[in-house]
């Protein structure tokens, strides 16, 4: 595992993707052992804060009847419904002072990526960000989509393998291959 204090520098941003109750054990769309990414992620968050590196925390924030929900034609059980406990950030993830990026609020489509029509790429460019470091849930869904979009938007993109987990191991392996193909660096 690389040391965040030795790694982060000016021009970096940390992106914490969807560390919400519904994606952790006991949640509506639980990722097996999803909560285990929180301690390593918190080390990155603490280092970022110390070094003045901006921290953005995305959240899936669905209206009731969202089209990604099975009863409304989507692939997922209902999850992260706005203002519910399931949509809240996990108690242990240290994102109290992070800038929140909200996605998944539209009725016409889902948004897996924190960059999908959120204006995040423009925001990061305005701040002079060149590199992004990404962790969170799930590796094979929203982390993958966010990392690929970050690389496409021209950011040097790194995913922290100890700070992300997939819905399924097979999905995780495919996600790693797809992200690498898109130019994302996955530290090992």
**Would you name the residues annotated as active-site residues?**
18, 103, 142
Residue closer to Zn ion (CB basis): 109 or 180: 109
- The alpha carbon of 82 is separated from its chain's Cα centroid by a whole number of angstroms, namely 17
* Position 60 contacts Zn ion (CB under 5 A): yes
Residues between 76 and 115 with contacts to Zn ion, criterion CB under 5 A: 104
DSSP 23-85: GSTTSTTPPTTGGGGHHHHHHHHHHHHHHT--EEEEEE-BPTT-TTBGGGT-SB-S--BTTSG
- Which residue's Cβ lies closest to Zn ion? 60
Q: How far is the CB of 140 from Zn ion (least distance, A)?
A: 13
Query: For the chain, how big is the Rg over CA atoms in Å?
Result: 15
**Rounded Cα distance, 164 and 137, in Å:** 6
Shortest Å, Cβ 143 to Zn ion: 13
By CB under 5 A, the count of residues binding Zn ion is 2
For residue 138, cis peptide bond before it (omega within 30 degrees of 0)? yes
Residue 22, interface with Zn ion (CB under 5 A)? no
Taking contact as CB under 5 A, which single stretch among the options 2-10, 36-44, 59-67, 113-121 is the one that binds Zn ion? 59-67
Q: Contact, 133 vs 186, CB < 8 A?
A: no
- φ/ψ of 105, rounded to 5, equals -95, -5
Site string for Zn ion, 129-168 (x = CB under 5 A): ----------------------------------------
Whole-number minimum distance, CB 134 to Zn ion, in Å? 17
Asked whether position 18 contacts Zn ion by CB under 5 A, the answer is: no
Q: How far is the CB of 65 from Zn ion (least distance, A)?
A: 13
- Location of structure tokens 């609020």: 105
Beta carbon nearer to Zn ion, 72 or 127: 72
Nearest-approach distance from CB 156 to Zn ion, in angstroms: 27
Closer CB to Zn ion, 60 or 149, in the complex: 60
Beta-bridge partner residues of 99: 56
Alpha helices in 17-168 (DSSP H): 38-51, 120-126, 144-152
Say which residue the tokens 């869904």 belong to: 141
The residues that touch Zn ion, with contacts defined as CB under 5 A, are 60, 104
């Amino acid at each position: 595992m690389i040391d965040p204090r030795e790694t982060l520098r000016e021009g970096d941003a940390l992106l914490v993707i969807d560390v919400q109750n519904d994606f952790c054990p006991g949640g509506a769309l639980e990722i097996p052992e999803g909560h285990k990414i929180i301690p390593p992620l918190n080390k990155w968050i603490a280092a970022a804060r110390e070094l003045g590196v901006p921290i953005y925390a995305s959240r899936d924030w669905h209206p009731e009847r969202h089209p990604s929900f099975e009863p409304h034609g989507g692939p997922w059980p209902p999850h992260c419904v706005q203002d519910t406990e399931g949509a809240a950030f996990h108690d242990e993830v240290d994102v109290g002072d992070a800038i929140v990026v909200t996605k998944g609020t539209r009725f016409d489509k889902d948004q897996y990526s924190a960059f999908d029509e959120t204006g995040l790429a423009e925001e990061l460019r305005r701040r002079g960000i060149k590199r992004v470091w990404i962790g969170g849930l799930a590796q094979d869904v929203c982390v993958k989509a966010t990392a690929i979009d970050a690389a496409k938007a021209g950011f040097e993109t790194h995913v922290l393998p100890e700070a992300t987990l997939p819905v399924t191991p097979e999905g995780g392996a495919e996600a790693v291959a797809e992200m690498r193909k898109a130019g994302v660096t996955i530290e090992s």
